[in-house]
Structure 1
Amino acid sequence: MRIQQGTKSFRNISFALFAGGFVTFALLYSLQPLMPEMTAAFDITPTQSSLTLSVTTVSMALTMLFIGSLSDAFGRRSIMTVSLIAASVISILSAFSPHFPILLLLRILQGVALAGLPAIAMTYLVEEIDSRSLGYAMGLYISGNSIGGMAGRMISGLLTDWFGWRAAIGGMGAVGLAAALFFFVTIPPSRHFIKQNAKLNRVIPLLWSQCRNPRLLCLYGLGFLLMGSFVTLFNYIGFELTGEPFNLSQSIAGSIFVVYLMGTFSSTWMGRLADRYGRTGVIVLALAIILTGAVLTLHSHLWVKIVGLALFAFGFFGGHSIASSWVGLVGDAHKSQANALYLFFYYVGSSVSGTGGGLLYGQLGWIGIVGMIAAYVAVSVVLCYILWYKGKMATLPS
């Protein structure tokens, strides 16, 4: 019998995965608001400092393609626990990095470690939770992800103001170790897991088969462009807010990430709109909101910039929720591989665009960032049209 809502086991799973998701994304994004500090500490450019996030997301994306197969052999609970512990220890070690290349190496290793929980958590929930309680459990886990991403940015900004950026990174690692211990003690052992051999040789052919569907390719492109725009904007907004004419402290600049809470509402609201009016029109609406928010950040008034950031976050989370759920509807029998590829392109978009945007920022300033996002929105609209057209053709009688 699978675990139902209201039982002690359900509460333990929900609390454990909320904590695991929280610390995973807190560790992943905790360095994002610290980029101006590292630029000064290591005497590097903003583009180079963005590598601290880009190398982590790309190593995480690559690892997520394969780690699910490893969990088939070694178990979901053990892989997730090792993932949290390893990522936290690496965060503590990163605080002592004497040189920038060593910090990048540790961040690459941290990306590999961080892949363990997000790649497996949803599979664990599907195996253990009763279908009537699954939606609530999944919602708690995803809320831990989004709150962790926001809190990691805000907490690291506060700790940097009080103790310096190295203490902030080490402190986040200590929080991660505490969460990993809580996770290990709290999460119940798998009851319905069936051990299998790790068939890594089958992963690539199955992934490649998902690239033959043009509608899936469009969705992968949307994931790349949406996340690329999002990370690029928030990578470099810190340089704008801590520099002239605003001169905000790291803690105040980090508090700007509270606009992520807009995503808690927009993902649900736009999902309902998509069910009622169709996904294509609603995702185009999300793209229009993204562009409007980006353009507003060009304004010289601080509060107009903040409104622009909030609108941008609102549109991004709504668009991402529609695109990611669309993958499962378009994919064939191998939906897990289709979803894995979406996440792969999603995080690669973060890595490539997050660093590439720095080149534009160095040459053109903030107008370069907004120009890149406008180009991404234009390409995304084209992809939405192709998705709509291919879907319409598929429903016509042969």
Structure 2
Amino acid sequence: MAASMQLLNVTPFRFHSTSIPQHHSRPVIARCSATSSTAKSYNITLLPGDGIGPEVISVAKNVLNLAGSIEGIEFKFNEMPMGGAALDLTGVPLPEETLTAAKQSDAVLLGAIGGYKWDKNEKHLKPETGLLHLRQGLKVFANLRPASVLPQLVDASTLKKEVAEGVDLMVVRELTGGIYFGKPRGFGTDENGQKIGFNTEVYAEYEIDRIARIAFETARKRSGKLCSVDKANVLEASMLWRERVTAISAEYPDVELSHMYVDNAAMQLVRNPKQFDTIVTNNIFGDILSDEASMITGSIGMLPSASLGASGPGLFEPIHGSAPDIAGQDKANPLATILSAAMLLKYGLGEVKAAERIELAVLDTLNEGFRTGDIHSAGNKLVGCEEMGEQVLKSVDTKTPAASLL
């Protein structure tokens, strides 16, 4: 079991320093706890968002509550509007009240945002703009995206088994700089009178240095290998990126650093993904490569993420989208959100035992053959979002994490 427990492989490191109605399709499940009284209490802001977001957040909330109660932890949840749901309710994708609640909490758990309904909105009224503003507001600059092929799901990968089997990598993505935030940006007219759109890829030394250090620390806690991905043969911003990452490497002589151009990295991820352990890259490259890496695992519905800053609450979310086509149909895979809750415990709160309890429960549920539609194959048991959550809850209640799982 320990060998397969690679989805959240990095040991925890701490970064120093008007609610809307609850979305529940059934009552919150109460289980008997091994701990009669709680020793610790945390405030968690829940942002269900759009599409399947409310469904998967409801399941993850139940799992958090149960794992917490067993380990002597109490959670106080504050559910707030975000994304398209907030647009419909308040006219903006990130209400000030939501951002304030997020800043004042111990951690934030996000479901998903976006949908066809708001695709034609002006940019400042798109759900995705709210997400960018949330990241900025929380000052979470480091996005950790694990991508591991679990033995139970190796046949679900689109790659050949011999290529996918044993893949275990972490993408460390810079989250608050680069072309998504750089200025100048906008629309204009060129010398020929043609309308143009323009964005600026810009990084300051301090932005590169801080994400590089997080990546080196992450690699140090894994296998000691770090690949920095850039486009330094063409882009000045990437030239600075490579220069600074190389300079920071002097602080980590125990970590083996390599560099790779992004186009080659995209190819190598599907050619030989096992060559990678930890990847560090900028905002836009990280956005693309982490989604590519997720599909090696068999389904984007399996992968969590953590976004962390130098201080304050972290933001934890599955990397899948809002999937409006299946919203409300009990077809969503809640495991990525459940594992995001485990990352919240591990990286956001330092509650490693509770996190391991959830991780082990997910593996146990998969071992029992339960599958949602996105990971289903012949011989397994097809279940919906709620039933998958129920099965994880049963495992949380009965399985005890082993110390060797860290």
Q: Does the TM-score normalized on the shorter chain lie above 0.5?
A: no
Point out which structure has higher relative CO (alpha carbons under 8 A, 6+ apart): 1
- Structure (1/2) with the larger strand percentage: 2
Report the TM-score, using the length of structure 2 for normalisation.
Answer: 0.28
Report the TM-score, using the length of structure 1 for normalisation.
Answer: 0.28
